[in-house]
Structure formats: C-alpha cells, structure tokens
Structure 1
Amino acid sequence: MTLSALLFDKDGTLFDFARTWNGWSMAMLTELAAGDQARLAAMADAVRYDLSAAAFRADSVVIAGTNEEVAEALLPHLPHMTLSDLEQFLIRTAGEAELAQAVPLAPYLSALRDMGLKLGVMTNDGAHSAQRHLTRSGVYDLFDMVIGADSGFGAKPDPDPLLAFCSNVGVAPEATAMVGDSRHDLIAGRAAGMRTIGVLTGMARAEDLADLADVVLPDIGHIPEWLARA
C-alpha cells in the first residue's frame, strides 16, 4: 500500500539527539547538583550520562523515556524536590534547549506536505516541550497532529498514541510509517500495524534497529528517495 502519512519521533529523529541533548543535560545536572560533586556523579550514573565525555550512554532512560521516567531516576538524589517539581523543571529547561535539526526542517516538511502526505509527531517528551521545540524551529504548523506522552493517549512503545494519530487524520495504520531512532519507536510502529523507518540520528546503531525496521536510513532526509523506490 502507498504511504499516506508519516509519524515522526522528535528527539533523535527530527532533531539530532547528541547535538541537541548532550550539552543541555550537562547543564541540567550541574544546576541540580548545586555544587555537590558526589550528587552530580550519582545523578549522572542514574541516567547513564558520561560526565567525562559529556554524552549519554546508549542505555540511558533519557533516550526514549518520558519526563516522568527521567525524573523518577533522578529523584532519589534530590530529596528536597518532589517528583512533580522535578518533572516540571525538566520540561521547563528542556523547552529552551539549543536544537540541532537533523535536516533543515521547514523546506523538508513542506516538500512532504506538497507530496500529499499527512504529518505528525509522537514523542515521549511532554506535549508542551514538543510544541515549544517545533514552534521555535518554525515548523509546528506543518504537522497535522503533535502528541506527547502526557497528551492522554499513552507513551511508546504502546501503539495507542500512534493509532490516535491515524484516527485523527483519517489514515489507516497500514498506510502510515512510524519514523524513529529507537527500538521503542519501531516496536510501537509494528504494534500499530504501521510501516517502520529507522534513522541513525539518535544513539542506536543500524544493527540495533534492523530487525524492527522496514528500512534504516542515515537521517530523515533520505525518506523521499526511499518512498520513490518503495
């Protein structure tokens, strides 16, 4: 079946994960540690962040987890904060992260829309952060629907938020492709009955995604060529 819609993950897919989040995370952890080096090291270990390399390890909860899951990992080291306060801190600071687009998004997404494709975003980040990032990048209005983990449909790897997108835009799951950089993205896509496209602008390697993907591409910029061949 010809594809009629593309549903994108956000971090690691629309935005290069390492170039966007490694620096922000160092600043975030440093601020929370408030000068306590032991606390800084403990928090970094909790979210699998390599302080010496200023980079996430491939098994970090931050890569595909929700803000709540990240906050839960950090909370034992921050007894003066509540889970809600910590989650809101993450949402607020992440909304202002310096974003590294995987490709120039505005012309790329406009071209996909000109092809007649419906476009969406489903991220395990919060809806507020997602809207903020896409608005700052000048592309929010190019999407038919933007879903966060707190939008009321659930989070990946569950298929429910992906199916909510299909229902909202009136496209069958089998005519939709889930595009993502993590196994969570592709597991959700397969469970929803979608085609699956893996990209390598996150932390996963091609071999990490191959068994769940119809195709693994260097970045989203290669999708139009793949669509022309598919």
Structure 2
Amino acid sequence: MTLKNYIWDFDGTLFDTYPVMLRALKQVMIKHQIHYDGDLAYFIKKYSIREFAKQYGTDALLDDYHQLETALQTQVASYPGIPAILKQIIDTGGQHFILSHRDDKTYAYLGELSPLFTEIITSDNHFARKPDPESLTYLINKYQLKLDQTVMVGDRPLDILAGQNAGIKTILFDDAGFFQANELNADYTVTKWENFKNEY
C-alpha cells in the first residue's frame, strides 16, 4: 500500500447528506423567491451552496438554509461500504482524518465512526476554506505525513484543488458522473465505494 494517510471530506464523500441539503436549498429558494434554471445539484457540487447564495441569493438565504438543513438532516448515514473501507485501511496500517466545511455537528453525525479518525477538522476550527491548503498543511506538519503517502478524498473540485495545492494525492468520488474524462485531474476516481479496493 503506497497511501497511508487519508484526509476525507465529509458531506457527499463519507456521508450521503446531499439529498437533504438539496431539498433544504430548494425550500429556502422558494421562500426567498429565487429561481434557478440550471442543474442545482451540479452547481453545488461544482462550487458550493455558499457560492450559490453569493451569486443568486443573500446572507439571509444562507442563514435560513443552514437552519433548515440542520432540522431536516435527521437520518444521517454513511455511504454503504464506507465503514468497512475505513476499518480495512486502519487494519493495513493507515490512518484517517476529516476536513469538512460543516461545523462541529460533524462529530454527532459520525457517531460510532468517530474513533476511526485521528483528527477531525470542521469549520469551527476556523482554517481557510478549501481549496486553500491551510488545513491540509496543518495536518501534514502536525503528524509529519509523507506527501506521497497522503491523499485528499472528496466529491467536489475544491477538495481536489485543496489536495493538489497541498502537494498530496487526490481521489475524486463522483457517484453522479458530473465530471467528465477526469477534468479535475484527480489521481484516482471512484464512482461507487463498493468498488474501492485500497490498491492505490
């Protein structure tokens, strides 16, 4: 195994939270009378909900979204296969970290999976947001992670860019097939976690 240190995004990578996030966003768009003709799911994957609010809404929309999303996100579950993948990597000498734009509710959502992570970074740690590599550099320096053995795993361009900016490997999780012909230049692409073999 060449990769030993896995730095995971949370939403849409480890946990299947996007359906509720999308539902919450659509509801607050109605409240704020915002109409968007494009593919909303693609927009928030390619950019972010924060960017959508910046371009088409207001800070009030973002605040309302966060409140509603928290209320609706009641049955948070990891993608099938993720618990086994995490444990397999640890069993073969690896370790895990989380780098999420979500706040400290991440800990509650992780539940019994929390002990599998060496450190969890959320928005409450106040690092610069991805794709800025500040938080990745912090982990690399704190744990003396070898760059060629460390990988950023995420579902959005900003995850891949953050890893590239930090000089580490990248794995794109693209279950919806949004990104064609590896347009993000990730080192590896996974479309179903059930097919993940930890052989990179």
Range of TM-score over shorter length: 0.7 to 0.9
2:150/2:169 contact within 8 Å kept: yes
Matched, 1:183 2:157: yes
Normalised by the length of structure 2, the TM-score is 0.79
For the residue of structure 2 that corresponds to 1:184, the secondary structure is helix
**Structure 2 vs 1, CA of residues 88 and 186 (structure 1 numbering), >3 Å: closer, same or farther?**
closer
Partner letter of residue 151 of structure 1?
Answer: N
Report the identity percentage: 24
Q: Please say if residues 200 and 216 of structure 1, whose CA atoms lie closer than 8 Å, have aligned partners that are also in contact.
A: yes
Superposed, 1:134-149 pairs within 5 Å as 134-135=110-111, 138-149=112-123
Cross-structure match for 1:106: 83
Counterpart selection for 2:167 from 193, 211, 225: 193
Shift of residue 115 of structure 1? 1.0
- Within 5 Å, give how 1:1-230 maps onto structure 2: 2-16=2-16, 20-27=17-24, 29-30=26-27, 32=28, 39=31, 41-42=33-34, 45=36, 56-60=40-44, 64-65=47-48, 69=51, 72=54, 74-75=57-58, 86=64, 89=67, 92-93=70-71, 96-126=73-103, 128-135=104-111, 138-201=112-175, 204-207=178-181, 209-227=182-200
Q: 3-state SS of the aligned residue for 1:144? A: strand
How far apart in 2 are the matches of 1:92 and 1:70?
18
Q: In 2, Cα distance between the equivalents of 1:149 and 1:198? A: 21
Displacement of 1:59: 1.7
Structure 1 residues 211 and 28, CA gap change in structure 2 (3 angstroms): closer
Q: Secondary structure at the match of 1:139?
A: helix
Using the size of structure 1 for normalisation, the TM-score is 0.70
CA shift, 1:187, in A, is 0.9
CA distance in 2, matches of 1:169, 1:221: 29
* Counterpart contact for 2:24–2:65, Cα < 8 Å: no
Counterpart-to-counterpart distance in 2, 1:23 and 1:186: 23
Once residues 188 and 24 of structure 2 are traced to their aligned partners in structure 1, the CA distance between those partners, rounded to angstroms, is: 35
Corresponding letter in the other structure for 2:42: A
In 1, the alpha carbon distance for the partners of 2:146 and 2:188 equals 20
Name the CA distance, whole Å, in 2 between partners of 1:49 and 1:64: 13
Task: Could you tell me which runs of 5 or more consecutive residues in structure 1 were left unpaired when the two chains were aligned.
Answer: 51-55
Given that 2:21 and 2:69 are in contact with CA atoms closer than 8 Å, whether structure 1 keeps it comes out as no
Distance in 2 between residues matched to 1:142 and 1:151, nearest whole Å: 20
Larger radius of gyration: 1
Instruction: Decide whether aligned partners of structure 1 residues 191 and 211 sit closer, same or farther in structure 2, where only a CA change above 3 A counts.
Output: same
For residue 9 of structure 2, what is the amino acid of its counterpart? D
Question: 1:6/1:221 Cα in 2 relative to 1: closer, same or farther (>3 Å)?
Answer: farther
- The one-letter amino acid of 2:189's match is V
Q: Please give the secondary structure, in 1, of the residue aligned with 2:123.
A: coil
